[in-house]
Amino acid sequence: MTAPANAGRRVFLVRLTQGAALAASGGLVWTYVLRSEARASPFALRPPGALAEPDFNALCIKCGQCVNACPYDTLRLATAWDSRPIGSPYFLPRETPCYMCTDIPCLKACPTGALSPQLKDIRDARMGLAVIDIENCLSWNGMRCEICYLTCPVRGRAITVERRTGPEGTHARLVPIVHSDHCTGCGVCEKKCPTQEAAIKVVQADLVKGDMGEHYRLMREGITPGAAPPAPAVPPAAGPDRRPAVPGLDVLNQGL
Amino acid sequence: MSEHALDRANPAAGRPVRLYTPPASLGGRLWSWRYLILRRVCQLGVLLMFFGTAHWGWSVAGAPLLTGNLSASEFAGLIPMTDPFAALQILLTRHMLATEALLGVGIVLAFYALVGGRVFCAWVCPVNMVTDLAGWLQARLGLANVLHLNRNLRYYGLALALVLSALTGLAAFEWVSPIAMLHRELIFGVGMGLTGVAGIFLFDLLVLKHGWCGHLCPLGAFYALLGRTAQLRVRFDARTCTRCGECIRFCPEPQVLKLDQAAAAGMVASGECTNCLRCVPICPEGSLSFDLRALIPRHNAQPLKPD
């Protein structure tokens, strides 16, 4: 029997298919590893100026120059099999928080732009967002603590202390409240929180932050959270038919 | 000289074939290991500079001596260096690198294009020490390869890394690279990344000699392509060569020592040559030497010194 005339082509096609199958299966395994590494992102607090996670993961070259530049040894690189994406910088506030250097040396050290030079003022950094476990917070349980408020580098803006009435028969409470429009996620509060396990923790903001949507935002016009309700449009008239100055009632009745 | 060697007298050279005999004296041995020692000094020196900067605050003129790692670094606060292969993968994820990183890519590309891309492999990469140890141990223990792989597999790995970078939006090799893992964890803290290197060591020792560096490593493949323009090369003087084959026996990339091709080119031209210079001291005839590419034709035309 003679070899078919197209034997060479057949061999070539078989080889081509084998190569493609090898590349595809290798590529699939490789992609699986990549994706499972990148999925760990929500558990890493990034240095100041870090881009949104997908962009940060793509641009960070894992060189550790930010780690070397940090004067407080706050930053570290994730090792392999860490619960955070391999080789990328992160910090654990309970161990060492970000002390918010005004010259942002970590960002200046970044060669790739994964830490964006667009961040000029460290107070505009959004490394994460502090959230309070009010079940374990000393202040929320009626004790005088307020350490998070007192140690906050953006004091009086990122965390405020407000008065809340306690349950029947107890005194009033002074409770800390975090404001996301000022919290940088530096984690000093988490470091200083005196409870055994911190009752205030910094997490990536999008894990805990909601969004009302446009519809509700419209309803809130004129009311800023924490501020005193605006003065009634019509001063309550003196006399027996005086209406009670219920906060918000005037707003609800506006335009009627 | 053994009879066996005499039997293999090379008609082309018309001279008896001598095999390499290690020098008897310690001084002679050390001299024959001179490039090996230099390579280890260079590899460990680079590692030490990174480590000292990270942990002991080594600095020069007020700036960190060598900050970062092999992926990207800065020397003396002035000279940025960026792994060009890592940068290429990042660019393929459609993200633009900042100027400093791009400048670093240019510097590294220019350097290795001149001295030979795989000079990185033999003189800088920390994995080389691990795989050299595995190779030496394999020979010592007389272990045989249990697997044969095509040495061109690394180029397919290289291509796959680039394709996957574009598809997944992540620098595909950088996220799994055992080289980066080893180097990073040696400098910034040890974790399970060392298991990757242990895997390479066992693979090289028990499965295939020079399996990682010589067959699979995509970074080595990248530098092999870059090394085609190398100006530092191993000169080959075909007139004195007796084809004893000792260089091929010692070479971690023996396919680069195709002696007919080398004779035609007057040198080891392949980009896969790592310029490790193992072959130079062991050549019994002194036919191999380290030289500048531009001077090779002239040196090969010089009259031979009489023995």
Residue B284 maps to which CATH number?
3.30.70
Handedness of CA A214, A215, A221, A224 (dihedral sign): negative
Residue A126 · residue A205 · CB < 8 Å: yes
| Per-residue pLDDT tens over the stretch B42-100 | 999 999 999 999 999 999 988 999 999 999 999 999 999 999 999 999 999 999 999 99
Quote the DSSP letter at residue A42.
G
User: Cβ B64–A61 below 8 Å, yes or no?
Assistant: no
**Residue A198 maps to a domain:** yes
Which amino acid makes up residue A83? Answer: S
Q: Please, where are the H alpha helices in chain B?
A: 3-7, 26-32, 34-55, 84-92, 99-115, 119, 127-141, 153-168, 178-188, 193-202, 211, 218-226, 246-250, 259-265, 279-282, 296-301
Higher-pLDDT residue of B218 and A228 is B218
- For chain B, positions 51-110, list CB contacts with chain A under 8 A: 53-54, 64, 67-69, 71-74, 80, 82-83, 86-87, 90, 93, 95-98, 100-101, 104
Name the nearest CA neighbour of B248 among B291, B283, B224: B283
| Per-residue pLDDT tens over the stretch B179-196 | 999 999 999 988 888 888
Angle between helices B178-188 and B127-141 (to 10 degrees): 110
Assess whether pLDDT exceeds 80 at residue B1.
Answer: no
pLDDT score of A222: 57
pLDDT band at A36 (very low <50, low <70, confident <90, very high): confident
Task: State whether A115 and A141 are in the same domain.
Answer: no
| Per-residue pLDDT tens over the stretch B248-296 | 999 999 999 999 989 999 999 999 999 999 999 999 988 999 999 999 9
Assess whether pLDDT exceeds 50 at residue A121.
Answer: yes
ipTM score here? 0.87
pLDDT score of A240: 56
Task: State whether A98 and A140 are in the same domain.
Answer: no
Residue A80 · residue B193 · CB < 8 Å: yes
Distance separating alpha carbons of residues B118 and B280, to the nearest angstrom:
17
Tell how strand A129-132 and strand A200-203 pair up: antiparallel
Task: Among A125, A140, A165, identify where a domain stops.
Answer: A125
Task: Among B225, B248, B276, identify where a domain stops.
Answer: B225
| Number of other CB atoms surrounding residue B220 within 10 Å | 29
- How many C-alpha atoms does B229 have within 13 Å on its Cβ side? 7
Residue A191 maps to which CATH number?
3.30.70.20
Q: Which residues of A touch B100 (CB under 8 A)?
A: 111-112
**Residue A56 maps to a domain:** yes
User: Cβ B184–A76 below 8 Å, yes or no?
Assistant: no
What tokens does B71 get? 């992926």
| Number of other CB atoms surrounding residue B99 within 10 Å | 11
pLDDT score of B11: 45
**Residue B95 maps to a domain:** yes
What residue numbers bound the domain in which B219 lies? 36-225
CB-CB: which of B73, B175, B189 is closest to A63? B73
**Residue A37 maps to a domain:** no
Task: State whether B46 and B188 are in the same domain.
Answer: yes
To the nearest whole number, what is the mean pLDDT of chain B? 90
Task: State whether A74 and A56 are in the same domain.
Answer: yes
What tokens does A224 get? 């800023």
**Residue A92 maps to a domain:** yes
Say which range, A56-70, A204-218, B5-19, has the weakest mean pLDDT: B5-19
Mean pLDDT within B209-218: 94
Q: A155: helix, coil or strand?
A: coil
Q: Which CA distances in Å does B134 have to A140, A147, A153, B205, B214?
A: 61, 56, 53, 5, 13
Q: Does B251 touch chain A (CB under 8 A)?
A: no
What residue numbers bound the domain in which A164 lies? 128-210
Q: Which residue of A has its CA nearest to B74?
A: A65
Assess whether pLDDT exceeds 50 at residue A74.
Answer: yes
CB-CB: which of A54, A64, A112 is closest to B188? A64
| Per-residue pLDDT tens over the stretch B133-182 | 999 999 899 999 998 899 999 999 999 999 999 999 999 999 999 999 99
Mean pLDDT within B195-205: 93
- 10 Å CB burial of residue B223 (0-12, 13-18, 19+) is buried
pLDDT band at A118 (very low <50, low <70, confident <90, very high): very high
What tokens does B140 get? 């010592």
Name the nearest CA neighbour of B135 among B216, B38, B207, B29: B207
Task: State whether B253 and B210 are in the same domain.
Answer: no
Which of A62, A77, A119 would best serve as a mutation to test chain B binding (most B beta carbons within 10 A)? Answer: A62
Task: State whether B200 and B71 are in the same domain.
Answer: yes
**Residue B7 maps to a domain:** no
Task: State whether B182 and B300 are in the same domain.
Answer: no
**Residue B23 maps to a domain:** no
Task: State whether B281 and B240 are in the same domain.
Answer: yes
**Residue A168 maps to a domain:** yes
| Per-residue pLDDT tens over the stretch A204-230 | 999 999 988 777 765 555 555 555 555
Q: Does A109 touch chain B (CB under 8 A)?
A: yes
Quote the number of domains for chain B. 2
Residue A77 maps to which CATH number?
3.30.70
Distance separating alpha carbons of residues A194 and A174, to the nearest angstrom:
16
Distance separating alpha carbons of residues A76 and A81, to the nearest angstrom:
15
Task: State whether B63 and B190 are in the same domain.
Answer: yes
User: Cβ B188–A65 below 8 Å, yes or no?
Assistant: no
Task: State whether B109 and B255 are in the same domain.
Answer: no
Q: Does A90 touch chain B (CB under 8 A)?
A: no
Task: State whether B280 and B307 are in the same domain.
Answer: yes
Task: State whether B214 and B242 are in the same domain.
Answer: no
- For chain B, positions 271-300, list CB contacts with chain A under 8 A: none
